[in-house]
């Protein structure tokens, strides 16, 4: 049985132009190999297999999964698929300028890279930061890499900050909400191409529901509960 995101798979709009270019490159490589090595069957078949695998990796990266979000105003939903790599109390200096609970999720190139709103509310702050492309698990990636910062104000007045962070391979961050927009928990707010990370900053009294090493499902897994 295939994972559900591969059943009736659709492709994300951010990947369509790249997939066309990749397909042209794959077909071009195979045509050149077939022309110069007409008698080398094993060479041609080997190149076909390698280029097909390469294309399938890119194809699966841009898949759009079916996710069902259980709307709950007390829940903070995972904003992305991936692996929990940070759970700690820290100081958030850009917006809150104070202590917060941080949860970070690292997305490998094999994960779905759609980003889901972790909470419903109004976008009270947004900023795009150009920057470096350090590996996404590097401690300084949160403050030095290309990134965006969203703050959503919950209906009870609580604000939740989440940050898209580009990794060493990610060269483009996409976002679909702006300051003043009303967003709904579980809907798509952005996309990061290839390996990357999302940091979520929560009130100190938030109950964290995941552990280091957990692999949450974006748009579904409850990673924290508001007090």
Cα-based distances in Å from 114 to 7, 12, 32, 67, 111: 17, 8, 35, 11, 9
Tens place of pLDDT per residue across the chain (227 aa): 344 444 445 776 776 777 788 888 888 888 888 888 888 888 888 888 888 888 887 777 777 777 888 999 999 999 999 999 999 999 999 999 999 999 999 988 778 888 999 999 999 999 999 876 666 555 565 667 788 999 999 988 899 999 999 876 555 788 988 999 999 999 999 988 766 889 999 999 999 999 999 999 999 999 999 98
**pLDDT the model gives residue 64:** 75
| Residue 196 designated active-site | yes
Residue 80's nearest CA partner among 192, 210, 211, 2 is 192
Taking the domains of the chain in order of start, what are their residue ranges?
4-64, 75-225
**pLDDT the model gives residue 62:** 75
**pLDDT the model gives residue 210:** 97
DSSP H helical ranges for the chain:
16-36, 41-61, 141-144
For domain 75-225, the CATH architecture is: Distorted Sandwich (2.70)
CB 150 within 8 A of CB 162: yes
Full-model pTM: 0.77
């Amino acid at each position: 049985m295939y994972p559900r995101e591969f059943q009736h798979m659709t492709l994300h709009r951010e990947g369509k132009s790249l997939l066309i270019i990749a397909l042209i490159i794959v077909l071009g490589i195979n045509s050149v190999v077939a022309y110069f090595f007409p008698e080398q069957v094993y060479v041609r078949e080997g190149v076909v297999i390698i280029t097909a695998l390469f294309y399938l990796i890119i194809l699966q990266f841009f898949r759009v999964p079916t996710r069902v979000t259980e709307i709950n105003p007390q829940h903070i939903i995972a904003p992305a698929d991936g692996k929990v790599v940070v759970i700690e109390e820290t100081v958030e200096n850009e917006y809150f300028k104070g202590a917060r609970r941080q949860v970070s999720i690292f997305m490998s190139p094999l994960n779905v890279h759609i980003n889901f709103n972790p909470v419903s509310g109004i976008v009270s702050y947004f900023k795009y930061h150009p920057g470096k492309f350090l590996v996404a698990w590097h401690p300084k990636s949160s403050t030095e890499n290309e990134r965006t910062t969203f703050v959503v104000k919950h209906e009870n007045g609580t604000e939740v900050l989440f940050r898209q962070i580009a990794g060493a391979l990610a060269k483009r961050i996409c976002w679909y909400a702006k300051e003043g927009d009303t967003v709904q928990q579980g809907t798509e707010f952005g996309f990061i191409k290839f390996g990357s990370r999302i940091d979520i900053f929560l009130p100190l009294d938030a109950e964290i529901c995941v552990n280091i090493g957990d692999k949450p499902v974006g748009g579904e897994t409850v990673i924290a509960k508001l007090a």
